[in-house]
A = this chain, B = another copy of it.
């Protein structure tokens, strides 16, 4: 950041094109508009006319279009904010139209499969820097975005030795830091394992318990709603996230998620066995571990 810090009162890019201004993309646009520090000119691309109208009405882009090619042709940075399942397809349309020397980045929640999907379309004169801003709410679409979504959150970068120039990595880091985020580099594989346990598995468990409750007999099901405050409600908040986005994440990070779910299931079965056989020490030990993690979070100011 040293060189860029001195230049931090000028926009980072001339033209930033955001493809897919949903929760994440529109929050970047809000931030860019609010501070004027990301780009002099903002272009938003979406194939949904309602979303385009909302972005225009919100006043968070200078141009709004459905046509990818002209929208990326003048950009010095193109950010893909579409669901991970269509990243490859959108990149294949965007990359051939990009100008030489431009930067391509994405905000996908999984990295190995997104990189695999985008890689075939890459050009040697385009620098690609995969990124994942770890922020979100249970809401989606352009109206869900806001300028401070990334404040004090992490953005993980998984730069590729062969396609991510140092200058491009530094620019994408600056972009996210100017959005308020802290940045960290790691390999795509490690990223996917970490996200499997901190985000994907919790979501899978939350979706599942909501489904399990939904299958109960009618009377009990209605009481689940009445008495949700006792723990269940926290799961429903997690489970309220966008289905297509999460379907794509589960399918894109399949191996890491299945591995973490298998570990979790072993542990849940061990807990079930301890309950069945009244193994108090085991139960208390496992509960104590949960409390330790919570205490560490509080010490880390993450809770």
Contacts and interface: CB of A to CB of B under 8 A. Distances in A.
Interface of A: 134-136, 138, 153-154, 156, 184, 190, 193-195, 197-216, 220, 223-241, 243-244, 246-247, 250-251, 254, 257-258, 260-265, 267-269, 271-272, 275-276, 278, 280, 283-284, 286-297, 300, 302-303
B261 A272 contact: yes
15 contacts: A134-B230, A184-B226, A194-B227, A199-B232, A200-B231, A202-B234, A212-B263, A212-B267, A228-B297, A236-B297, A239-B287, A239-B290, A243-B291, A244-B284, A265-B265
B234 A284 contact: no
Contact of A213 (B197, B214, B229): B197
Contacts of A262: 272
A158 B292 CA distance: 35
A159 to B, nearest CB: 17
A28 B213 CA distance: 31
A201 to B, nearest CB: 7
Contact of A231 (B198, B208, B267, B284): B198
Given A198-B232, A199-B227, A225-B300, 15 more contacts: A193-B220, A198-B224, A199-B230, A202-B234, A205-B205, A208-B271, A212-B260, A225-B296, A228-B297, A233-B297, A236-B290, A239-B287, A247-B280, A258-B272, A261-B268
A215 B283 contact: no
A205 B209 contact: yes
Given A194-B224, A199-B230, A211 B257 contact: no
Contacts of A258: 272, 275-276
Most chain B C-beta atoms within 10 Å of own C-beta, residue among A208, A264, A269: A208
Task: List 6 A-B pairs, minimum CB-CB distance, nearest first.
Answer: A239-B290, A210-B290, A202-B231, A199-B230, A243-B287, A240-B294
Contact of A303 (B226, B231, B233, B303): B233
A190 B234 CA distance: 23
Given A202-B232, A237-B303, A264 B154 contact: no
Contacts of A216: 197
B265 A198 contact: no
A268 B204 contact: yes
Nearest to A299: B225
A267 B211 CA distance: 8
Nearest to A205: B205
Given A280-B247, A280-B251, A290-B207, A264 B212 contact: yes
